[in-house]
Amino acid sequence: MLFWVIAAILTLSASLAVLLPLASGSKGAPSAGDHDLEVYRDQLAELDRDAARGLIQPAEAEEARAEIARRILRLGNADPVAKAAGPSTATRLVATVAVLAVPLISWGFYNELGSPDLPSQPLSARLAKNPADSSVDELVARAEAHLAANPSDGRGWDVLAPVYLRLQRFSDAAAAYRNAIRLDGDSAARQAGLGEAIANAAGGIVSAEAQDAFEAALKLDPASPKASFYLAMGLAQEGRVSEATAAWQKMLGTLPQGSPWRGAVEQALAESANKAVAAGEPAKGPDAGEVDAASSMSPQDRQAMIETMVASLDEKLRQNPRNAEGWMQLVRSYVVLGKADQARDALGRGIAVFGPDSEEARKFAAFAASLGLTTTE
């Protein structure tokens, strides 16, 4: 509401700036000739000063004086008399249009461009709001502000780290877990979380660094399902599928009924049967029906089907290239199919989409390296 009042006042004053001069009586302005005369007078005076200082020779000064005098004489004849301004119809029309144009144009444009209902949102005000009204992003920002001021608050990092993980801010999550471990000491949950963050930051690849974290977690809590699950995933990614399957089978045996990990393990087991997609985020692989169909087919048919799937993914990415997971899946698929050149090509295209310096590109490069693929050869 306040905004509309201000806008109205501004419009009014702008319109007045147009209206007032149009409505006021015309002052008799000096004609252009008077202005010129004043300048010539001054030129003459200055000529005298210059001559006195020797900046111009006496003969030339005389000549210059004559020049100026001639210009002054010319003034009398050339000065056109300013027309008396009778308020003609055209003038009135122009004046009316001008005065009306200001509110019409401004409100018209603002109607198109403005967001009158959107209040200003200074960060400090947003952070001072009641936490219950805040979005997750705002809560995170508040926690970040708190931790920026108190970086040695281990508990704060411990709370923030899983939130980062859920928000898919994996590198932030990894940093937060590291801080929590450094300040509040080791725990299985923290180490497993760190491993998960590192693995997800690398697009689901369980790197040596992630593996270290998971192993540390297992040492602290041999029953940690997260650590066991990801370590098995790491085995699968290294191509040790049977070992991975065994580990997952073992997990299924020990996991209590109703554990959220059962579903994940079962899915992983189902997918480890299909080597072509045996890594990364299981949910992004082909759906269960297709996998089932693939496992009951002849090897040739299966190969053909996988290739069709890969080709369709490739086609999809050509049309819709900003899909980081998609690119990694494509690269991985080509590697598994033994088509290193196409994998490299896909990698190059994926990097080009996001720009070589983007976070995605680095992720791609790390991911490719983990698959034993180099970009240049």
Considering only residues 282 through 301, tell me which ones interact with other proteins, judged by CB under 8 A.
none
Nearest Cα to 200, choosing from 172, 179, 220? Answer: 172
User: Of residues 89, 109, 339, 347, which one binds other proteins by CB under 8 A?
Assistant: 109
Distances (CA, A) of 269 to 229, 239, 266, 283, 365: 11, 14, 5, 13, 28
Stretch 45-74 residues interacting with other proteins (CB under 8 A): 45-48, 50, 53-57, 60, 62-69, 71-72
Q: Which stretch binds other proteins (CB under 8 A): 26-34, 207-215, 240-248, 300-308?
A: 26-34
User: Of residues 96, 114, 215, 222, which one binds other proteins by CB under 8 A?
Assistant: 114
CB 150, min distance to other proteins, A: 15
Closer Cβ to other proteins, 222 or 355, answer by number: 355
CB within 8 A of 329, min separation 6: which ones?
A: 277, 280, 284, 285, 313
- The SS3 of residue 307 is helix
- Is residue 36 near other proteins by the rule CB under 8 A? yes
CB 331, min distance to other proteins, A: 16
Distances (CA, A) of 19 to 6, 23, 55, 109, 336: 20, 6, 51, 21, 77
Q: Which stretch binds other proteins (CB under 8 A): 180-188, 292-300, 309-317, 353-361?
A: 353-361
Nearest Cα to 176, choosing from 151, 199, 200? Answer: 151
CB 226, min distance to other proteins, A: 28
- Is residue 356 near other proteins by the rule CB under 8 A? yes
Q: Which stretch binds other proteins (CB under 8 A): 5-13, 239-247, 252-260, 327-335?
A: 5-13
Cβ–Cβ < 8 Å for 61, 50: yes
CB 274, min distance to other proteins, A: 30
Stretch 69-98 residues interacting with other proteins (CB under 8 A): 69, 71-72, 76, 82-83, 85, 88, 90-91, 94-95, 98
Stretch 314-333 residues interacting with other proteins (CB under 8 A): 320-322
CB 281, min distance to other proteins, A: 21
User: Of residues 163, 305, 348, 366, which one binds other proteins by CB under 8 A?
Assistant: 348
- If you write DSSP's letter for every residue of 14-52 in order, what string do you get? HHHHHHHHHHSPPP-PPPHHHHHHHHHHHHHHHHHHHHH
Closer Cβ to other proteins, 76 or 253, answer by number: 76
Distances (CA, A) of 227 to 10, 80, 90, 176, 270: 64, 96, 85, 18, 19
Tell me phi and psi for residue 13, to 5 degrees. -65, -35
User: Of residues 1, 77, 89, 122, which one binds other proteins by CB under 8 A?
Assistant: 122
Nearest Cα to 329, choosing from 265, 278, 377? Answer: 278
Query: How many positions of this chain bind other proteins (CB under 8 A)?
Result: 107
Closer Cβ to other proteins, 287 or 357, answer by number: 357
